[in-house]
């Protein structure tokens, strides 16, 4: 279980948000909503340990994250707003490289199966710089299909996806929740998923 208590975030000389509390249990999802600039990305980065909070604390399985950092990071998959893939590498190489960097090497068969399921059949070996924006997003999202992480933190995962890919992604998220996974994500659109929903609104 992931819990946050009294989180606050400062950017420059501005306090973006304060007193943010939430909890995400196995099978639950939390959608962070709010206008542009409200601090949604900032919140996700704080939870993922990529930026410091100005105040508050985050707990993983009842323990302060600071005390179980390695365990927490081993259970976490964070996908940022940008696809964060390497343009000179193919989709297959990107997927295998990301897995290796996370310390969980991925065999070629598993990687190719994930890429094909996410709609990249026939595009697996091309340098990703020639892929469309939506296809690049799909390369990043293929990581979800290879992930054993219990907590997925996804920043705008639906951006640039066509209708079929949105529905595929919902299916993948549903499977994660059915397995007892936890999901924290931002989106400007209404999303229908299984599991137990909750939402958090930042800003006005």
Ligand X SMILES: Nc1ncnc2c1ncn2[C@@H]1O[C@H](COP(=O)(O)OP(=O)(O)OP(=O)(O)O)[C@@H](O)[C@H]1O
Given the rule CB under 6 A, which residues bind ligand X?
Answer: 11-12, 16, 34, 36-42
Characterize the bridge pairing of strands 196-201 and 28-33.
Answer: parallel
CA nearest to 108, candidates 146, 149, 136, 144: 146
Range 68-85 burial, b when 16+ CB lie within 10 A, else e:
beeebbebbbbbbeebeb
Q: Which residue's CB is nearer to ligand X, number 43 or number 112? A: 43
Bridge partners (DSSP) listed for residue 79: 154
Residue 9 CB, shortest distance to ligand X, in Å, is: 8
Residue 190 CB, shortest distance to ligand X, in Å, is: 15
Q: Which residue's CB is nearer to ligand X, number 36 or number 192? A: 36
Residue 105 CB, shortest distance to ligand X, in Å, is: 32
Q: Which residue's CB is nearer to ligand X, number 37 or number 105? A: 37
Tokens in use for 166?
């949105």
Sheet with 63-64, edge to edge strand ranges: 14-24, 2-11, 55-60, 63-64
Q: Which residue's CB is nearer to ligand X, number 38 or number 154? A: 38
Residue 112 CB, shortest distance to ligand X, in Å, is: 33
Q: Which residue's CB is nearer to ligand X, number 25 or number 159? A: 159
Residue 203 CB, shortest distance to ligand X, in Å, is: 7
CB 17 within 8 A of CB 202: yes
Instruction: Please tell me the distance from the alpha carbon of residue 18 to that of residue 4, in angstroms, as a whole number.
Output: 12
């Amino acid at each position: 279980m992931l819990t946050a208590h009294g989180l606050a975030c400062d950017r420059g000389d501005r306090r973006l948000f304060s007193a943010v509390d939430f909890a995400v249990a196995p099978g639950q999802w939390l959608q962070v909503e709010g206008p542009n600039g409200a601090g949604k990305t900032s919140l996700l980065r704080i939870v993922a340990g990529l930026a410091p909070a100005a105040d508050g604390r985050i707990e993983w399985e009842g323990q302060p994250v600071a005390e179980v950092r390695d365990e927490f990071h081993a259970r976490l998959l964070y996908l940022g707003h940008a696809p964060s893939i390497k343009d000179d590498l193919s989709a297959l190489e990107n997927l295998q490289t990301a897995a290796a960097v996370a310390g969980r090497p991925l065999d070629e068969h598993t990687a190719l199966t994930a890429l094909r399921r996410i709609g990249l059949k026939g595009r697996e070996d091309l340098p990703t710089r020639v892929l469309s924006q939506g296809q690049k997003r799909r390369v990043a999202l293929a990581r979800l299909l290879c992930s054993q992480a219990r907590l997925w933190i996804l920043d705008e995962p639906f951006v640039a996806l066509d209708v079929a890919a949105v529905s595929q992604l919902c299916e993948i998220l549903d499977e994660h929740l059915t397995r007892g996974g936890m999901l924290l994500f931002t989106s400007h659109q209404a999303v229908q998923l299984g599991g137990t929903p909750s939402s958090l609104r930042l800003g006005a």
